[in-house]
Amino acid sequence: MKLLAALFLLVQTSQAFATDLVFDLDWTLIYSTRAASAESNPEGIVRYQDEIYRFSDEAAKVILTLHRTPGMRISFFSGGDHARNEFVIEKLYEEINRLNGTPNQTLKPFRVGSADDLRVLSSDPLKRFSERHKKPLRRLIPDIDLTDAILIDDSDFADAGEEKNLLRILDTLDDIPDFSSNEWKTAGLQELPKNRTDWSLERQKLVWVLGVVTEAKRLTQNTGVTFTEAVNQMTRNSLDAPITRDLPSYKAQVEKGLKALNPRCDDRLK
């Protein structure tokens, strides 16, 4: 029995870091924002050189919840330069570790990929950045298991052979921290919400990601489906296109994310 117990532990340990979650930064974890928006609402603002960013809603809590989920490795991959990416991620982890509240356990990202790690497909300036560049997960994490890994990104940066590993966040909007405020209405923004629900669901995009990951993990444990397949089944339609936010299933996934977020954080965030 002792041998069986030891074998069981070994299996558990070898699976301990099986699932790779790789987060994009711009428009996924951070908004580029304006000085007027930062002044009227300074929550989550981070400044780097001349740039002003705001962390997406619940960014630190979502990443912390994922760190606390057994078997998750959290990495980041952004087309920005390395110094900027490291700066933004350092600020994010200051908040994550503050929320975690255990000084002898410092949470850190597994890998950080930057501009130098992109695969360059073309130098045609008429093409979009995401058409000219891809984010090869196998380059960032050589021991990655592609049946158990996703890139969470608002653009199509999936490398050849890694198309199924993309969890696409569609329809990102400009930074509007408070829908009721008048500040944004005359700011000349380009990507505006159609209504309050549209705004609210966009602000909850990371909570949605948490809901999808949590449910996909549950499906993986309860059925024979792989994590990557489960994410695809939940987030793509019959034409293999990403689902849109007006679907009931999208809202149900946001609800799952909220449930995953709150029981784990409530007692520590007071």
For Mg ion, the binding residues (CB under 5 A) are 24, 26-27, 154
CB of 130 to Mg ion, least distance (A): 8
Nearer to Mg ion, 11 or 83 (CB): 83
Alpha helices in the chain (DSSP H): 2-14, 35-40, 59-67, 82-100, 129-132, 137-140, 196-203, 205-222, 227-235, 248-269
Does residue 162 contact residue 138 with C-beta atoms inside 8 Å? Answer: yes
Nearer to Mg ion, 100 or 155 (CB): 155
Q: Nearest-CA neighbor of 142 among 217, 64, 75?
A: 75
CB of 104 to Mg ion, least distance (A): 34
Residue whose Cβ sits closest to Mg ion = 26
Tokens 């630190």 correspond to 60
Nearer to Mg ion, 154 or 183 (CB): 154
CB-based contacts of 196, cutoff 8 Å, min separation 6: 179
CB of 29 to Mg ion, least distance (A): 9
CB of 9 to Mg ion, least distance (A): 40
Nearer to Mg ion, 86 or 183 (CB): 86
